[in-house]
Amino acid sequence: MDVEHLVAMANDIANFFDAESGKDRAPESVRFHMSRYWESRMRRAIIEHLQHKGGAGLSATARAAVEKLAQPA
Amino acid sequence: MYAKDYHDLGTPGATGENVTLEIDGATVSVPAGTSIMRAAALADRDVPKLCATDTLKHFGSCRVCLVEIEGRKGFPASCTTEVAAGMKVRTQSEALTRMRRGVLELYVSEHPMGSCPDSSRCELEHLAGEHGIGESRFAAPKTPRHVHTPREVDHSNPYFRFDNDLCIVCSRCVRACEETQGTFALTIEGRGLESRVAASQGEPFLESECVSCGACVEACPTGALLEKSVLTAGLPQKAVATTCAYCGVGCTLVAEVTDGAVSRMVPSRDGRANQGHACVKGRFAYGYATHPDRVTKPLIRKSITDEWTEVSWDEAINHAASEFKRIQAKYGRDSIGGITSSRCTNEETFLVQKLVRAAFKTNNVDTCARVCHSPTGYGLKHTIGESAGTQEFVSVQQADVIMVIGASPTEAHPVFASQMKRRLRQGAGLIVVDPRAIPLVKSAHVEADYHLRLLPGTNVAIINALAHVIVTEGLTREDYVAERCEKDSWEKWKKFVSDPVNSPEAVEQITGVKAGLIRGAARLYARGPNSAIYYGLGVTEHSQGSTMVMGIANLAMATGNLGREGVGVSPLRGQNNVQGSCDMGSFPHEFSGYRHVSDDSVRGAFEAMWKVSLSGEQGLRIPNMFEAALDGSFKGMYIQGEDLAQSDPNTSHVTAALSSLECLVIQDIFHNETARYAHVFLPGTSFLEKDGTFTNAERRISRVRKVIEPLCGLADWEVTMRLSNALGYPMSYTHPSQIMDEIAALTPTFAGVSYEKIDRLGSIQWPCNDKAPEGTPTMHVGEFVRGKGRFYVTAYVPTSERTSSRYPLLLTTGRILSQYNVGAQTRRTSNVAWHSEDRLEMHPHDAEARGIEHGDWVGVTSRAGDTVLRVEITEKVAVGVVYTTFHFPESGANLITTDNSDWATNCPEYKVTAVQVVKVAQPAAWQRRRQAALPASPRDKRTPAETMGN
């Protein structure tokens, strides 16, 4: 998957939930959205990007969301 | 001319309390307000008529429908006289016959018996014959045929011709153009015997304002206005009611068949969606179904650079199945997927997603709604609880204020637009939110109260500003919200929109719309009392498409405009079965009825019925499939009835992905652009060749009925079934009704749907179940589907696609009346007479600054690619904005659109692309390459280079 594109998508989702859920709850809202709508390859790729590339380009909310996503269910 | 076997009742129906009267001795009960003519027809005592027809208001000019009423003097016209309790009417008497004969003889002096090319269906000749009239005593001796000056027959329209010498000047055509279509293109010019029907200022029909809807042709009682197809075909042997396969209005049509071929298409007057009307596409542009370009034999090839080889169905199906098995064995189960089509039936769509989930054993299924209305599903589901429009079309007749956002109904949904214009002519307020001056902004007897001509990409700023005015000026419906919506979300949203950052004054610089206009529009919408929002792809195809849909729902909830007739939020669906394809579980995360695949109980029901284990992990969306193809983890696709290479954005990216597949199976009626990258081509069938159902934009499920036999021998659902069987997952349906029974068994909102019930009721709007056995015209009555409505905070986030010194203009895209979507159908009809190429609309100031003149070829370059189009200079677009359609592959409109997409659904941002436009002398490089490549069909050989200088 094109990680640059996934990063942009994650940041767009975070932009929405920053306003809707508030900064504190936004990461969980973004994580939930990714877990419901992103296929496993996309989730794996963004987690890998966070874990191996430092999550470059991710906004604070998006980064926090991917960290949550990486945690075992 | 009516549809075969249609019984015309003369005047429209009424809705008053029943009154009882006597007609020719028979007791008749009809609603007050009904004409005597209609009451008599309902009692099978038809009164002769010429200027009356039941789709038009009474006119009272022909003087043929006179009757006698006991206790009244004279002979009143039955079309203009309403029934009254206790009235006694005589429709037949010697005096009446004598008067009718006299009048008919006068008509026959202008229209001699036998002069119509189809005399058997000429109402005048039929009536005159019934009254024993052979020839008229009043025919002028020197010019036996014409008292008036003869005129040449107007053959200009490709579908019908006008012979003035057969015209009896009854004005039915003029009134149909006004009342039914709302275009006002026809008039009666001249006086006395020289009175005649004229299109616009006496121009040929093709060059006039006529939109070729055909309402005038159907209304004509003689052969003056007549379909050319009727001139060449004999009388129809049968008539089959079916559903149009073009836009999301879903018109009910009657296909007349002569010698096994469709000889005429007429809108059904029983159709609830279209109410007896149709447009230039539905009524006339069906010829593509038998176009020579149709592919009717299965084809295979090893490589996309090889020539196609014609093979048997078995060989093609087995080859596709073995390739899919090979790929899954090598790359894994999730390395393949399928795409359902909004042009196919519900049953076919359901079957393709079933094949993907049950036979491929993956959830990698998606549909073309991904690229149009997926944000509608997301936005409406989250706010009000159901992924669908809230109203039926007829609801617009109760609207006091209509807001149209990002849609051009007269161009993309013309039959509904005619209904909307009827309400606007009655005085409903109109707010248009669109970067372009769509025809609704100002047309005959219709003018918008407010046109919020915003910059592309600023929808959410506008909706927030409208909400700001409504909230801060105390125009909300607090009682409605308190009863029906979540309190916390309401309070949070109110605080958000009240922030001065969302005021009209603050967003003026962002949107380009004067604050005063936004304030006025907000007050008008809030005032209602019935305010309805209709929106299109100008809302959804943005990076904030889902946010905007939520913003629209917020506005409707805040003002109490949901849950009754005349109000609501209605997405205007682009294709005939977009709603249905979404309903049928075409999205990778949802089963039919919009239920997530991870829901164990839902998945369990499907597993039990399908006798297979299903994945609870959502699959790839279309854009994600392309990404996965490019990274090598996605290798095979089955695409039914879609042309991704032409319709999806950033064509270079799409074709690179398609080229990387090891097996691409296309099922279509034509060699489309995507077929260039295919390994197996399975011939498809048009809507005329199969049974099934379509679901239109108002959730109306209507029957599609087989009119002619499939050209390729198999309906699409039969092909999918064979593929599934070859893959080892058995399917054994013998008729699509069995598939619908399965849909009903598995989908709560369809639980009460069956072919028997659709046939009995004519159509059904879902939800249809125990709670609503005959369907649900208006949703969210009393409470929202999700329980309490939820407001969402919709912060405006500018798109990353921005203008710059290099790309200073914003390109937005849309449709035109005569063409449909990627044009695969309409390009193969005479509709090219109106629109034979996509053009770039540009404001005169922008053109002048670039030395561009009307008709020049211009290069359009974006960050994604470049193309060449012919320019049209017009003030329909604002300074800084350009616009084009995407109906012709050689235009390459999607080569310049980017792969930006909606944050929630990945719906592409077709509506905002930063571009530069310059005058050029030759086509773009890709167009030259395309010209050099093997064409998909002879028509596709055309490029701008070939037509330059013409």
Q: Cβ of B621 and A41 within 8 Å?
A: no
Report CB contact under 8 Å: A15, B797: yes
What is the token pair recorded at B721?
């079934």
pLDDT tens track for A18-37: 999 999 999 999 999 999 99
Spatial neighbors of B720 by CB under 8 A, at least 6 apart, are B348, B351, B352, B355, B640, B667, B731
Residue of B nearest to A42 (CA): B624
- The rounded distance, in Å, linking the Cα atoms of B212 and B177 is 10
Residue B246: pLDDT band with limits 50, 70, 90? very high
Q: How many CB atoms are located within 10 Å of the residue A30 CB?
A: 28
pTM over 0.90: yes
Q: Give contacts of A29 with chain B, Cβ < 8 Å.
A: none
Confirm if B839 and B871 have CB atoms less than 8 A apart: yes
How many residues in chain B? 950
**Min Cα separation B793/chain A (Å):** 5
* Cα B252 from chain centre: 12
8 Å CB contact of B618 and A39: yes
The whole-angstrom separation of Cα B410 and Cα B816 is 9
Chain A nearest-CA distance from B665, in A, is 23
CA nearest to B599 within chain A: A36
- Say yes or no: A17 contacts chain B, CB-CB below 8 A: no
Q: Report DSSP state, residue B441.
A: G
Provide the residue type at B35 as one letter. Answer: S
At B586, the pLDDT band (50, 70, 90 cuts) reads: very high
Can you tell me the mean pLDDT for B65-85? 96
- At residue B931, the pLDDT reads 66
Chain B positions in Cβ-Cβ contact with residue A5 (cut-off 8 Å):
627, 899
pLDDT of B357-376, one tens digit each? 999 999 999 999 999 899 99
Inspect the interface and report whether the beta carbons of B627 and A12 lie closer than 8 Å: no
**What's the rounded mean pLDDT across residues B601-609?**
98
Phi-psi region of B663 (alpha: psi -120 to 50; beta: other; left: phi over 0): beta
Nearest 5°: CA angle at B856, between B852 and B858?
75
DSSP B359: I
Give the residue carrying structure tokens 């809507």: B687
> Which parts of B453-530 are beta strand (E)?
none
Q: Are B642 and B625 in contact (CB under 8 A)?
A: no
- When CB atoms are compared, the residue of B546, B618, B627 closest to A1 is B627
Residue of B nearest to A21 (CA): B793
Smallest CA-to-CA distance from B760 within B776, B746, B742, B775 is with B775
In this structure, the number of other CB atoms found within 10 A of the CB of residue B680 comes to: 26
Q: B618 vs A37: CB contact, 8 Å cut-off?
A: yes
Least confident of A65-69, B107-111, B398-402, B657-661: B107-111
- For residue B792, give the chain A residue with the closest CA: A20
Which candidate from B596, B620, B795 shows the least CB-CB separation from A39? B620
Judge whether residue B343 has pLDDT over 70.
yes
Set of chain A residues whose Cβ sits within 8 Å of the Cβ of B899:
5
B146 band by pLDDT with thresholds 50, 70 and 90: low
CB contacts of B792 in chain A (<8 Å) are 20
pLDDT one-digit tens code per residue, B451-460: 999 999 999 9
Contacts of B632 in chain A (CB under 8 A): none
A-chain CB neighbours of B617 within 8 Å are 39-40
Which residues in chain A are closer than 8 Å to B596, comparing Cβ atoms? Answer: 36
Q: Which residues contact B326 (CB under 8 A, 6 or more apart)?
A: none
Q: Which residues pair with B186 in a beta bridge?
A: B199
Is residue B923 reached through a cis peptide bond, with omega within 30 degrees of 0 on the bond before it?
no
Q: What are phi and psi of B257, to 5 degrees?
A: -120, 125
C-alpha to C-alpha distance for B865 and B634, rounded to whole angstroms: 25
CA-CA distance, B540 to B351, in Å (whole number)?
A: 27
pLDDT at B946 over 90: no
Q: Is A25 on the interface with B (CB under 8 A)?
A: no
Mean pLDDT rounded to a whole number for chain B: 94
At residue B947, the pLDDT reads 33
Number of A to B CB contacts under 8 A, please give it. Answer: 63
CA distance linking residue B485 with residue B553, whole number of Å: 12
Q: Looking at the partner chain, which of A2, A19, A39 has a beta carbon nearest the beta carbon of B795?
A: A19
* pLDDT for residue B149: 65
Question: What mean pLDDT do residues B260-264 have?
Answer: 94
Which candidate, B344, B336, B334, places its Cα nearest to that of B367? B344
**What pLDDT does residue B459 have?**
98
Given a cut of 70, whether residue B515 has pLDDT beyond it is yes
Complete DSSP assignment for B851-903: T--TT-EEEEEESS-EEEEEEEE-TTB-TTEEEEE---GGG-HHHHS---B-T
Range with the lowest mean pLDDT among B461-465, B799-803, B943-947? B943-947
pLDDT in tens, B830-886: 999 999 899 999 999 999 999 999 999 999 999 998 899 999 999 999 999 999 998
Q: How far is A23 from chain B (nearest CA, A)?
A: 13
The residue with greater pLDDT, B887 or B150, is B887
pLDDT above 90 (res B603): yes
Q: Hey, are the CB atoms on B624 and A39 less than 8 Å from each other? A: yes
| CB-CB under 8 Å, B631 with A2 | yes
Residue B933, pLDDT score: 64
* ipTM summary value: 0.97
The answer to whether B278 and B214 have CB atoms below 8 angstroms apart is yes
| Mean pLDDT, range B487-504, rounded to an integer | 98
Sheet of B365-367, strand order: B309-310, B299-300, B680-683, B663-668, B636-640, B336-340, B365-367
Element (H, E) at B694: strand B692-695
How close, in Å, is residue B334 to chain A by CA atoms?
A: 10
Query: Any CB–CB contact under 8 A between A4 and chain B?
Result: no
Q: What is the mean pLDDT of residues B431-444?
A: 97
Place of tokens 């990680």: A3
With 50 as the cut, is the pLDDT of residue B582 above it? Answer: yes
Task: Locate B660 and state its tokens.
Answer: 């990387």
Which residue in chain B has the smallest CA separation from A11? B903
CA-to-CA dists, residue B920 to B76, B309, B651, B852, B869, angstroms: 69, 40, 22, 10, 10
Query: Which of the four pLDDT bands, split at 50, 70 and 90, describes residue B147?
Result: low
Q: Which residues of B248-258 are buried (b: 16+ CB within 10 A; e: fewer)?
A: bbbbbbbbbbb
